[in-house]
């Protein structure tokens, strides 16, 4: 008994904590739909009163017809006041009810579409504003997944639940007034017959929400397996390594478990609702027996029986609907918590209160005693890290995988801020600049650039949409990246859609990289960062690429990250990174003379290259 009381109290406490989400959701719906919400409320008001009028006029019509039958008069002899007018009013109310039902559906469709677009926009804005660190967190993906699932339907479902609750409450109040005229205990009997339905609705709303929270990761894993089995990028390996059956079976096993648990919940709810419905039928039978006895004793007319049956039956259905509405509202509020949790996320990397103007980078960029580790990670990637990128100089950064080279790019772009120390541009901390203004001074070729499935021209123009680059600027950037010739071979040149998603032309990995390079080169930035820019180029194309790039980057500060020392050897200065620190710096010749890690790596790549050339010669 104590456990049940504690469970009830915990559910009430949870409901109280979720209650603020109702006005928040209504506010969002108002912002999304505006005047349509007013129209919707007016329709609800009228629709709530119409059933009461229909039930009342039904009694009038029945009693008029009974009166005609008892008097033995022909219909033509009955005055319009006695029968024709009640029938006309009843017919008008019935037609009006149908018209308003259709109008209500039309208004809800408009609201639903507007809400879907508005909520999707909110999620998109939040996803763009969130720190990059949120994408490192599985918990963030869980929250995003639940919000995406709920944002398009739950706000409208909650609004409809509230609207239905109000409309049905209004109708129920009218029916109760009609019933109380027969006996004050009839509405109480109505209430008693529907209380079990409320218990079922609330109990299973909590159970479904708990089940969903427990299985969010599994649902995401199902989505991942489904996408893996159907995505083009995975198709070659799935076939070559015979992985298709493995992932198909994994998907089916997971779906079988989730489906079984959900069906078990639905079955339990169905049985509980069946029991609650049986009790409701027994109360209806008891009430009707009482009313029939009154009619037999002459204390009620046939019209009274019709009115009582309709009013009590509708009242009972309305009570069940009200309780179901309450359960649905409760369930939607529980699910909407995920949306509001997502919308409450505040980025930690943000603009300063009093921003400084971004300097022209005449001196350079410095990492000063920087410590950094990724959120939710115990590994310190950078420790007391120091590095100077001189203005107008091409610097290269080399080191083994996992040393933190790509992390430097993310810190320079202010996707993250250092845990300790600072990064400066001409002596000013990057955190003193507006994010947008600082990032406009940077262009980056990422190691895994995005493949935009739009035209070749649009792919390149994405490098600086703010300036609306013209065809000449796009072509200049393409020539600098060595992408002009491959684009010229496409069916429609720069107007060719790239990628297979929308029926375009697929490119090789190296060709996609050239297009991405052109996108990076389009932006007239003061700081150019390239992550493995020549990884997909042969040694001959590599030399030509660097000659073009040096001309393009004249006067800019450049950082190149690469494992190919044939690329980095052409930089003005090379920095060798190990253990989260710079351990060697100098020109290619200087570092070879030091006989350190760089010289060791150079000899290793040199021997590998010579063996490949010998192999090519023997094959020829």
Of 223 and 16, the structure prediction assigns the larger pLDDT to 223
Q: Is residue 413 part of a domain?
A: yes
The pLDDT value recorded for residue 248 is: 87
Q: Are residues 525 and 563 in the same domain?
A: yes
- Residue 274 predicted with pLDDT over 60: yes
- Domain-located, residue 36: yes
- Do 370 and 322 share a structural domain? no
Q: What angle do CA 521, 526, 527 make, to 5 degrees?
A: 75
pLDDT at residue 38, as a whole number: 87
384, 314: one domain: no
173 touches 179 (CB < 8 A) = no
Co-location of 495 and 560 in the same domain: yes
Q: Maximum Cα–Cα distance for the chain, whole Å?
A: 125
Asked whether the whole model's pTM tops 0.75, one would answer no
Going from the C-alpha of 425 to that of each of 148, 293, 385, 394, 560, the distances in angstroms are: 39, 93, 16, 16, 18
On whether the CB atoms of residues 126 and 143 are closer than 8 A, the answer is no
Q: 183 and 55 in one domain?
A: yes
- Band (474; pLDDT cuts 50, 70, 90): very high
Residue 353 domain-assigned? no
Residues 338 and 405 in one domain: no
- For the stretch 393-413, pLDDT in tens is 999 999 888 888 889 999 999
CB-based contact 404:577 (threshold 8 Å): yes
At 38, list the tokens.
Answer: 């007013």
Q: Which two tokens stand for residue 32?
A: 């999304």
Contact of 373 with 133, CB cutoff 8 Å: no
In a domain, 112, yes or no: yes
- Type and span of the H or E element at 211: helix 185-214
Q: Give CA–CA dist 174/307, Å, rounded.
A: 12
528 vs 28 pLDDT, higher one: 528
Residue 445 or residue 9, greater confidence: 445
Ordered DSSP codes for 133-151: GGGG-HHHHHHHHHHHHHH
What is the bridge-based pairing of β-strands 394-399 and 557-561? parallel
Residues 6 or more apart whose CB falls under 8 angstroms from that of 138 comprise: 217
Are the beta carbons of 426 and 389 closer than 8 angstroms? Answer: no
| Last residue within a domain, chosen from 343, 375, 394 | 343
Residue 280 maps to a domain: yes
CATH number at residue 570: 3.40.50.300
441 against 286, higher pLDDT: 441
Question: Residue 6: inside a domain, yes or no?
Answer: no
Q: How far apart are CA 453 and CA 447, in angstroms?
A: 18
> Can you say whether the dihedral through the CA atoms of 202, 208, 209, 210 is positive or negative?
positive
What's the CATH number where 304 sits? 1.20.1560.10
Q: Looking at the structure, do residues 396 and 329 belong to the same domain, yes or no?
A: no
Q: Are residues 445 and 480 in the same domain?
A: yes
Q: Are residues 22 and 126 in the same domain?
A: yes
459: in domain: yes
Question: What's the domain count of the chain?
Answer: 2
Average pLDDT across the chain, whole number = 79
* Residue 330 pLDDT: 67
Tell whether 191 and 313 lie within a shared domain. yes
Burial of 463 (0-12, 13-18, 19+ CB in 10 A): buried
Residue 234 placed within a domain: no
Which residue range is the domain that position 549 belongs to?
Answer: 364-594
**pLDDT in the model for residue 586:** 92
Q: What is the pLDDT of residues 438-473, one digit of tens each?
A: 999 999 988 888 888 899 999 999 999 888 899 999
More confident residue, 209 or 434: 434
Calculate the alpha carbon distances from 431 to 125, 148, 414, 420, 424 in Å. Answer: 22, 32, 8, 13, 9
Both 27 and 88 in a single domain?
Answer: yes
Which pLDDT band holds residue 618 (cuts at 50, 70, 90)? very low
337 and 482 fall within a common domain: no
Residue pLDDT, tens place only, 226-237: 888 877 667 766
In eight-state DSSP terms, residue 496 is: P
**Model confidence band, residue 303 (pLDDT cutoffs 50, 70, 90):** low
């Amino acid at each position: 008994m104590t456990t049940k009381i504690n469970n009830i109290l915990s559910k009430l406490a949870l409901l109280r904590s979720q209650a603020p989400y109702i006005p928040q959701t209504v506010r969002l719906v108002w912002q999304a739909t505006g005047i349509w919400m007013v129209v919707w409320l007016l329709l609800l008001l009228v629709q709530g009163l119409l059933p009461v009028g229909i039930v009342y006029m039904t009694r009038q019509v029945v009693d008029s017809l009974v009166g005609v039958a008892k008097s033995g008069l022909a219909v033509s002899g009955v005055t319009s006041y006695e029968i024709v007018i009640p029938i006309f009013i009843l017919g008008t109310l019935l037609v009006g009810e149908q018209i308003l039902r259709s109008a209500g559906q039309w208004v809800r469709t408009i609201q639903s579409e507007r809400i879907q677009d508005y909520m999707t926009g909110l999620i998109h804005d939040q996803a763009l504003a969130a720190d990059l660190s949120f994408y490192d967190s599985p918990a963030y993906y869980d929250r995003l997944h639940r919000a995406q699932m709920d944002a398009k339907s739950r706000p409208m479902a909650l609004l409809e639940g509230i609207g239905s609750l109000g409309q049905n409450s209004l109708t129920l109040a009218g029916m109760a007034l009609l019933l109380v005229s027969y006996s004050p205990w009839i509405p109480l009997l109505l209430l008693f017959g529907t209380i079990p339905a409320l218990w079922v609705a609330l109990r299973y709303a909590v159970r479904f929400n708990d089940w969903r929270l427990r299985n969010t990761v599994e649902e995401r894993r199902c989505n991942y397996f489904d996408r893996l089995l159907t995505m083009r990028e995975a198709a070659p390996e799935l076939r070559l390594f015979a992985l298709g059956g493995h992932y198909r079976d994994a998907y089916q096993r997971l779906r079988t478990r989730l489906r079984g648990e959900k069906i078990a919940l639905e079955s339990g709810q169905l049985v509980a609702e069946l029991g609650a419905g049986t009790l409701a039928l027994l109360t209806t039978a008891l009430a009707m027996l009482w009313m029939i006895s009154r009619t037999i004793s002459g204390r009620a007319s046939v019209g009274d029986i019709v009115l009582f049956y309709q009013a009590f039956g509708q009242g009972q259905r309305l009570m069940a609907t009200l309780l179901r509405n309450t359960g649905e509202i409760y369930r939607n509020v529980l699910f909407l918590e995920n949306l509001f949790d997502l919308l409450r996320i505040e980025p930690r990397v943000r603009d300063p209160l009093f921003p400084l103007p971004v300097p022209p980078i005449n001196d350079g960029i410095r990492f000063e005693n920087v410590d950094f580790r990724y959120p939710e990670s115990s590994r310190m990637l950078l420790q007391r890290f120091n590095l100077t990128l001189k203005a107008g100089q091409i610097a290269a950064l080399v080191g083994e995988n996992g040393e933190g080279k790509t992390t430097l790019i993310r810190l320079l772009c202010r996707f993250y801020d250092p845990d300790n120390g600072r990064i400066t541009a001409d002596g000013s901390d990057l955190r003193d600049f507006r994010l947008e203004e600082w990032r406009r001074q940077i262009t980056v070729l990422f190691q895994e650039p995005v493949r935009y499935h739009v035209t070749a021209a649009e792919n390149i123009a994405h490098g600086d949409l703010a300036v609306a680059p013209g065809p000449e600027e796009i072509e200049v950037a393409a020539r600098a990246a060595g992408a002009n010739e491959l684009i010229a071979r496409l069916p429609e040149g720069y107007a060719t859609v790239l990628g297979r998603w929308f029926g375009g032309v697929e490119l090789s990995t190296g060709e996609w990289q050239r297009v991405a390079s052109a996108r990076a080169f389009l932006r007239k930035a003061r700081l150019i960062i390239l992550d493995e820019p020549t990884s997909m180029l042969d040694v001959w194309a590599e030399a030509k690429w660097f000659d073009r790039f040096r001309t393009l980057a004249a006067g800019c500060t450049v950082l190149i990250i690469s494992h190919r020392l044939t690329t980095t050897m052409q930089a003005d200065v090379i920095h060798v990174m190990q253990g989260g620190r710079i351990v060697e710096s100098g020109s290619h010749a200087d570092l070879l003379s030091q006989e350190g890690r760089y010289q060791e790596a150079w000899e290793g790549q040199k021997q590998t290259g010579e063996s490949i050339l010998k192999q090519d010669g023997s094959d020829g």
